[in-house]
Amino acid sequence: MASVRNLKKDINFLASELVTQAYLSKVIFKKINDEELDQLISDALNFKTEFIARVNHPDGKDNPKLVKSYFYNVRKDMVTKFGQLLDKASVFPPDEK
């Protein structure tokens, strides 16, 4: 299992990637306006705050199986939420089938 420290680094990296993608969409590709940029940055900061808080307070500290399951679910939720936010900030829309 990855350490809590590495998980927090991953969360910070993903939040910074969301902000970077939002700026690229605004400045280079002109796909979004100022209000949308502000909203995307706010969403990225909320993403970071929410998941850092979840990592700092795991459920079932006494039971290793519960802790492992908790962090597995945090990572799964983090990837899902990041994908949703990245779709909003992305220059290229996701493939629709």
pTM comes to 0.88
Q: Tell me the per-residue pLDDT of 56-95, one tens digit each, with 9 for 90 and over.
A: 999 888 899 999 999 999 999 999 999 999 998 887 766 6
Each domain of the chain, given as residue ranges in start order, spans: 4-89
Which pLDDT score is estimated for 15? 97
**List of residues 6+ apart from 41 with CB closer than 8 A:** 19, 22
pLDDT at 97 exceeding the cut of 70 = no
Which pLDDT score is estimated for 60? 83
Q: Tell me the per-residue pLDDT of 24-37, one tens digit each, with 9 for 90 and over.
A: 989 998 888 999 99
